[in-house]
Structure 1
Amino acid sequence: MPSTATDPRTGVPRQVFPTLREDDIHRAVHSARLSAAGWAALTTGERSRRLLRLAAAVEDDAAAYVRSECAGTGKPRSEAEGEIANCVDLLRFYAGVVRGDLSPASGHRIPGRESWVRWEPLGVVGVVVPWNYPLMMAIWRLAPALAAGNAVVLKPAETTPDSVLLLAEHAAEVLGPDVLTVTPGDRETGRLLVASDVDAIAFTGSLQGGLDVHARAGVRRVSLELGGNCPAIVLPDAPAHTYEDLVAACTYNAGQSCAAPARVITLAENFDSTVSALAEAMRGRRAGADFGPLNNPDQLARYDSILNASKAAIREQGDVVVAPDERGGYWRPGVVLADLPDDDPAVTEEIFGPVLTVQAADSPEHAVRMANDVPQALAASVWGDSVSGLLGISRELQAGEVWVNCHLEQTADLPHGGRKQSGSGTDLSVLALTEYQRPKTVTVRIA
């Protein structure tokens, strides 16, 4: 049965997409496996050249990709343009690094023997990505997987398949048929892909979805990037730009970013000034002008449910400025919440919306304990003037990525990945290639 995607800006149905089921998934994975051998047999130089051609195709058709991203997510054009440029950069990055050498050991390691390590692709990788960054989250997964020599079968989110379906058209032209296959559908489609004959699964999404993937995957390779609920520790000597930067990062993509700042933790001595500065910055952020809507009715209901259950006081909220035909969309303002108990649902759960909570700690050490005292451990930031002190705090924070006096700044060159309930595995950087390869040691007896 086909599914109808809705424009989150208006709440109006916009397009019908197919929903694939078991036979469709079986055919997609079978075709990918037939193509995988030929793709893996190419030299790294040839795979690199084809990935560069795919990057050029995305860049040349960037306007169409931007339209697709805006239609599916409702995000402002400026956000979509920056994300498409980032996708092009990611493809070019992996086209380059795949020509390097990842071998951990080679040469004369055993008397009378020569040894080396071959990095071989896994085969067919099943990829399931969410709706918050439809193309970029797909590229994070498929670029290193393809560069490593795998074929990819990718299931996009039900509400946002547009840009990835366009990418599949370009991939068929420049990579070859069935090297990248997109299988649109609902959650059951994703479960069918995970349960199929793929050799590995890369999943980006919720904790519940990740646990389900892990249970279905068995002994196969699994890479999970799950929730964030990220802390930002703001010390009394934080620079003046701290508050505008945190609010901008919190409201980017309507706060629907796993690595976005969610929980601001201050000291008692700068609690009031921090709340006031964040409130002033939030007053200047407008949904409909500076950021887009929430993505779907389920996400809207989650946002409302957590805020309604919170015991916090709303210190400030921004405006919603939309056209009349957008008033049926999934719009919510940016919000600053203060005076929260440690067990408040707005603290313990990831809202995934444009909300900053503010809590007070007794000391920097207490602030670190509060930052670490949630199940998630994806990213964090710390803000202040003492570099040595900030670096010390960065070592104590339980997170796969820590920013100092900045937040939500990423590049293809540096790894990103979670700990605890935020998942396992690595996205970005040369390290992501190892998620989609396995080493084979070859040892030769010499005369």
Structure 2
Amino acid sequence: MNTQQQWTALKQQIDIEARAFIHGEYQHAQSGNTFAVINPATDEHLADVARCDAKDAAIAVEMARSAFNCGDWQDQSPAQRKAVLLAFADLIDQDRETLALLETLDTGKPISHSFSTDIPGAAAAIRWYAEAIDKTYGEVAPTEVNVHAYITHQPIGVVAAIVPWNFPLWLACWKLGPALAAGNSVILKPSEKSPLTAIHLGKLAKQAGIPDGVFQVLPGFGHEVGDALARHEDVDCITFTGSTRVARQLMVCSGESNMKRVWAEAGGKNANIVFADYKNLDKAAAETAAGCFYNQGEVCVAATRLLVHESIKDAFVAKVIAASNAFTPKDPLDPASSMGALIDQEHKAKVLDYVAKGQAAGAKVLCGGDVVGQGAFVAPVVLGDVSNDMAVAREEIFGPVLCVIPFSTEEEAIAIANDSPYGLGAALWTSDLDRAHRVARQLQAGSVWINNYNEGDMTVPFGGFKQSGNGRDKSLHALEKFTEVKTTWLRLESY
């Protein structure tokens, strides 16, 4: 990996594309309007990006529908689509340095994360679904002897992918991989806070051989272009990652238009339960800190509620505080940095306001909360004396704030963990195998980790219970949600 000085030099040389990508070409918004993209670590202006609206959405949807109907993509053989998507993944890998730098400048996250994890993860997602294309099969129903009934999966049509700002490229590729592999046309709407890597993808898609109109990128604001896509009668599916509030709005838009499918991965307030019998508390403390403070805490599945047995609470929290020292905000272009800036100054103020609200409700700041430098930096915060009815324990802060909640019995821990409107992730730490399975079965969460936090790969589905959303990203489950299931029934007259 480059040194800090080399990354800084590349920053001065980088050519940022800021236009929308529509029907195979970069274009200004129809209105000519733009919006500023700011580096949250330095408050520097990065680019004026095309501010797309309903007019641009209408054009992109028309192009996507035309591309879908003509069959240039969906009618390619599985081997042909696979080859194109593998080329797409290879081009992402080849542009890893540029994409990583854009991601870090855009979001404030450490360059070590962008370069070593996010961009390779994005390419891996595309590659995984490319490899799955020729390894999925239809079904034949068990019918009477003179009937042949078979079940097939066909592409759903035009998919709008609306993605967040915390892992812009990686989460975009979680959507693009299965949607494109299934044969759909996809319109990608990145967050207005982090659109640069999504825009860069446009030229890579064209280079790879994805037909014009099959992949398009519309930067802009949710209430302008996102709403237009969600209400458009010719969009067949919305796939979304973001807040529960916006997920609800998208469902309303669907109901008021053509009842398009809405697949939403929404918020989380994830419980991390540490039982007194667990033998390696140093490991649990290190993974608790990483689970909460990685990516500045801007992770939907962050371990923000620490439920710890009262008999070990003080000793364990001391270990977590010591482990949090590894997450000191510094220049994101420093490869040694493990913690960068929050997404912008507005979000920084929101995070600090939650800490203040927690204190007003009776919580105590055990460490952190320091404002570092002029950018959107906030040091990790550990709050003690938290009860599960406080706003800091119930609402998604999306920042580096850990709430410590003691419990006395297994039953109480499960009750506290499940007492949340969310159900995205949960973890438990125990050396008792029976307890591990007993508790995991009762936790209301889409992913449960035992003696680890937030491990996984592309083979397992990711998504939540309750208000954490519906549907699943990753795995073959995600591929299926971008298809229509068709039954074809043939009665053989010769019998």
- The normalised TM-score by structure 1 is 0.96
2:400 is aligned with 1:354: yes
Could you tell me how far apart the structure 2 residues matched to 1:199 and 1:292 are?
A: 38
* Residue of structure 1 in register with 2:338 after alignment: 290
Deviation at 1:279, TM superposition (A): 1.4
Deviation at 1:285, TM superposition (A): 2.1
* Residue of structure 2 in register with 1:193 after alignment: 229
Could you tell me how far apart the structure 2 residues matched to 1:22 and 1:318 are?
A: 41
* Residue of structure 1 in register with 2:456 after alignment: 410
Map 1:328-367; keep pairs closer than 5 Å: 328-367=374-413
Deviation at 1:108, TM superposition (A): 4.8
Could you tell me how far apart the structure 2 residues matched to 1:203 and 1:314 are?
A: 34
Q: Confirm or deny: 8 A CA contact 1:415 1:432 kept in the other structure.
A: yes
Could you tell me how far apart the structure 2 residues matched to 1:298 and 1:402 are?
A: 32
Q: Confirm or deny: 8 A CA contact 1:285 1:319 kept in the other structure.
A: no
Range with greater deviation from structure 2 (371-380 or 270-279): 270-279
Name which of 86, 99, 112 aligns with 2:134. 99
* Residue of structure 1 in register with 2:353 after alignment: 305
Summarize deviations over 1:360-398 as a string: whole Å, max 9, x none: 112011101100101010011111211221121111110
Could you tell me how far apart the structure 1 residues matched to 2:89 and 2:151 are?
A: 30
Deviation at 1:173, TM superposition (A): 2.2
Could you tell me how far apart the structure 1 residues matched to 2:42 and 2:399 are?
A: 18
Could you say what secondary structure the match of 2:154 adopts?
strand
* Residue of structure 2 in register with 1:316 after alignment: 367
* Residue of structure 1 in register with 2:23 after alignment: none
Extract unaligned runs of 5+ from structure 2.
1-32, 331-336
Map 1:124-163; keep pairs closer than 5 Å: 124-163=158-197
Q: Confirm or deny: 8 A CA contact 1:283 1:316 kept in the other structure.
A: no
Q: Confirm or deny: 8 A CA contact 1:284 1:318 kept in the other structure.
A: no
Range with greater deviation from structure 2 (185-194 or 428-437): 185-194
Q: Confirm or deny: 8 A CA contact 1:94 1:144 kept in the other structure.
A: yes
Could you tell me how far apart the structure 2 residues matched to 1:23 and 1:318 are?
A: 44
Which residue identity is paired with 1:315? Answer: L
Map 1:12-411; keep pairs closer than 5 Å: 12-36=44-68, 37-81=71-115, 82-103=117-138, 105-106=139-140, 108-174=142-208, 175-187=210-222, 188-196=224-232, 197-218=234-255, 219-238=259-278, 239=280, 240-288=282-330, 289-310=337-358, 311-317=362-368, 327-411=373-457
Q: Confirm or deny: 8 A CA contact 1:172 1:178 kept in the other structure.
A: no
Q: Percent identity?
A: 32
Extract unaligned runs of 5+ from structure 1.
322-326
Range with greater deviation from structure 2 (138-147 or 312-321): 312-321
Deviation at 1:115, TM superposition (A): 1.6
Which residue identity is paired with 2:237? Answer: A
User: Structure 1 residues 313, 177: closer, same or farther in 2, change over 3 A?
Assistant: same
Could you tell me how far apart the structure 2 residues matched to 1:363 and 1:305 are?
A: 32
Could you tell me how far apart the structure 2 residues matched to 1:320 and 1:384 are?
A: 36
Which residue identity is paired with 1:401? Answer: S
Which residue identity is paired with 2:314? Answer: D
Could you say what secondary structure the match of 1:68 adopts?
helix
Could you tell me how far apart the structure 1 residues matched to 2:433 and 2:207 are?
A: 50
Q: Confirm or deny: 8 A CA contact 2:326 2:338 kept in the other structure.
A: no
Q: Confirm or deny: 8 A CA contact 1:283 1:319 kept in the other structure.
A: no
Could you say what secondary structure the match of 1:209 adopts?
helix
Q: Confirm or deny: 8 A CA contact 1:287 1:333 kept in the other structure.
A: yes
User: Structure 1 residues 381, 392: closer, same or farther in 2, change over 3 A?
Assistant: same
Which residue identity is paired with 1:2? Answer: T
Which residue identity is paired with 2:129? Answer: Y
Which residue identity is paired with 2:95? Answer: D
Could you tell me how far apart the structure 1 residues matched to 2:190 and 2:155 are?
A: 23
RMSD: 1.4
Deviation at 1:354, TM superposition (A): 1.1
Summarize deviations over 1:7-59 as a string: whole Å, max 9, x none: 01012322110101111110011111111232111112211111000001101
* Residue of structure 2 in register with 1:5 after alignment: 37
Deviation at 1:333, TM superposition (A): 0.5
Could you tell me how far apart the structure 1 residues matched to 2:164 and 2:324 are?
A: 27
